[in-house]
Amino acid sequence: TPAPTPAPEPVKTADPGAGSKRPDPRFQYRSEFKYDEQKRLTEESTFLNNGKLWMRTVYKYKANEKEQLDYSDDGSVGQRVVYTLDTKGNAVEETVFNEKGEARYRISYTYEFDSNGNWTKRTSKHVEITDGGELALPTTVYFRTITYF
């Protein structure tokens, strides 16, 4: 007699009730992370405290570029972000695209590093991209103090 035909894989659909359970009052959101062999973040899934998937972010890497795809709970891509990375893996430019693939804004980053190679100052220059051209937004400066033991 022939071997039984295996059952087909279940189709994953965006079911609003999928994963729902009694809310856990200890937290509002819970995140799960996945990494590749190079220990780079490849996926982050964020769940509401009732267990329902709220948002999923997937990261893809090639050469000096990292791509971030943000998916909503219905599986659609809300935005796409492309980062240009330096040799240390720091973002030197970030371009954010909307769901139609149109660039919405661009951020360029410059860094100052301590003697251990960690950045202690990051300056970001924001540019909003509109139908009429580019609009420069205020520059942001972040400072970090790192204590080594």
Q: Kindly report the three-state secondary structure assignment for every residue of the chain.
A: CCCCCCCCCCCCCCCCCCCCCCCCCCCCEEEEEEECCCCCEEEEEEEECCCCEEEEEEEEEECCEEEEEEEECCCCEEEEEEEEECCCCCEEEEEEECCCCCEEEEEEEEEEECCCCCEEEEEEEEEEEECCEEEECCCEEEECCCCCC
Query: Which residue's entry shows tokens 């062999």?
Result: 37
Which of 41, 40, 23, 24 lies closest to 32 in space, CA to CA?
Answer: 41
Beta bridge pairs of residue 43 = 34, 58
Pair of tokens at residue 21: 């359970």
Return the pLDDT at 6. Answer: 42
Return the pLDDT at 95. Answer: 96
pLDDT along the chain (149 residues), means of 10: 41 46 85 95 93 93 95 87 94 93 94 96 95 89 96
Residues 86 and 73 sit within 8 Å (Cβ to Cβ):
no
pTM: 0.76
Residues 61 and 85 sit within 8 Å (Cβ to Cβ):
no
Pair of tokens at residue 64: 């000096």
Return the pLDDT at 10. Answer: 37
